Amino acid sequence: MSAASKITHFNSNSTTDEVLAGVDLSGKRALVTGVSAGLGVETARALAAHGAEVIGAVRDLDKARRVTAGIEGNLRLVELDLASLASARTCADRLLAEGEPLDFVIANAGIMACPFSRTVDGFERQFGVNHLGHFVLVNRIAPLLRARARFVSVASSGHRFADVDLDDPNFEHEPYDELVAYGRAKTANILFSVEFDRRHRGRGIRATSLHPGGIPTELNRDMTPETIARLHEPLARLMAEGKTAFKWKTVPQGAATSVWAAVIADEDEVGGKFCEDCQVSPVRDGGDATMPGVCSYALDQTRAQRLWALSEAMVGEKF
């Protein structure tokens, strides 16, 4: 398959099994975070079904064991609480001690638009869980990545809600807004992949980020009814006015872009880019979060480097 066909062959309706049809991943190793619900379980299932050895990093091991019990293939679980830097470091240290190389790292775990709270390390929870926990984990295990490995950061079209605030990441100087906080965290996911790609592409390792689509999962479990209504009202209005072609995806469709970006897509096409619907997204500022495209601020290399430096300062560790 040519590079061009890799980019254009699949679309929003494609599923994980369609993307990986005929692909043998025997001998490949993957780490997927959040393998206890929704997209994480499906991503792990699809990779394992095609022969990969999959490590599922989860906060709740008992829950993860229950929901992954039917997965066929090589899947094992490790404990990871992204709300704790100590847990992220322990998980990374365990993987480093094992010394087994990795071909794919998919940072899938996350929380969305929850009421204000802080992680055990004192960070605003969405920024801490979605960004800083993964920042520590992925950077620590970077030595395990083989040449031509991929790091995939599962972000969201919700990055359109807000750019990162490099001066007030913890909402210490302005009122907390759960959707703004989510937007900041998802923009941070994208910027992290941009800078990771810049730093590691000389080793043949590429990084990308993506929007999986709108999928009914447990992601909204921490949202209040008021926040859910606030999020859905503009969507309902746009649909009623015929201004959006939005449609919900199934879980296999939602996880398809993750496995496409990790396994199938051409490395030079997706490296440092943002993807959705198994395509590289156009850069498009303005509009609402239902429209395809990535805001330019989320791919800005200068802001990516500044976020990296800020993140290092916040976690007290340089990479």
Residue 116 C-beta-side C-alpha neighbours within 13 Å: 9
SS3 of residue 57 by DSSP: strand
Q: Look at phi and psi of residue 143 and say left if phi exceeds 0, alpha if psi is from -120 to 50, else beta.
A: alpha
Q: Does residue 232 carry a pLDDT above 90?
A: no
Q: 89: closest CA among 53, 152, 130, 139?
A: 139
Catalytic residue among 123, 151, 182, 308: 182
The pLDDT, as a whole number, for residue 4 is: 40
Q: Does residue 217 carry a pLDDT above 60?
A: yes
Q: Does residue 221 carry a pLDDT above 80?
A: no
Q: Does residue 6 carry a pLDDT above 70?
A: no
Q: Does residue 155 carry a pLDDT above 80?
A: yes
Give percent of the chain above pLDDT 70: 92
Q: 295: closest CA among 269, 312, 268, 276?
A: 276
The pLDDT, as a whole number, for residue 272 is: 98
The pLDDT, as a whole number, for residue 5 is: 40
The pLDDT, as a whole number, for residue 85 is: 98
CA 84, CA 120: separation in Å to the nearest integer? Answer: 6
User: What's the pTM?
Assistant: 0.92
Q: Does residue 234 carry a pLDDT above 70?
A: no
Listed range (36-40, 104-108, 165-169, 243-247) with the worst mean pLDDT: 243-247
Name all domains of the chain by residue range, CATH numbers in brackets: 3-314 (3.40.50.720)
The pLDDT, as a whole number, for residue 235 is: 67
Higher pLDDT, 127 or 244: 127
The pLDDT, as a whole number, for residue 161 is: 93
- Asked if 294 and 186 touch (Cβ cutoff 8 Å), the reply is no
Q: In the predicted model, what is the mean pLDDT of residues 5-12?
A: 68
CA 245, CA 137: separation in Å to the nearest integer? Answer: 37
Q: In the predicted model, what is the mean pLDDT of residues 14-39?
A: 97
The pLDDT, as a whole number, for residue 218 is: 67
Q: 178: closest CA among 219, 126, 122?
A: 126
Write out pLDDT tens, residues 163-211.
999 999 999 999 999 999 999 999 999 999 999 999 999 999 999 999 9
Catalytic residue list contains 297 = no
The pLDDT, as a whole number, for residue 245 is: 63
Give percent of the chain above pLDDT 90: 84
CA 82, CA 129: separation in Å to the nearest integer? Answer: 5
Q: Does residue 7 carry a pLDDT above 90?
A: no
The pLDDT, as a whole number, for residue 274 is: 98
Across the chain, mean pLDDT equals: 92
Higher pLDDT, 137 or 226: 137
The pLDDT, as a whole number, for residue 2 is: 37
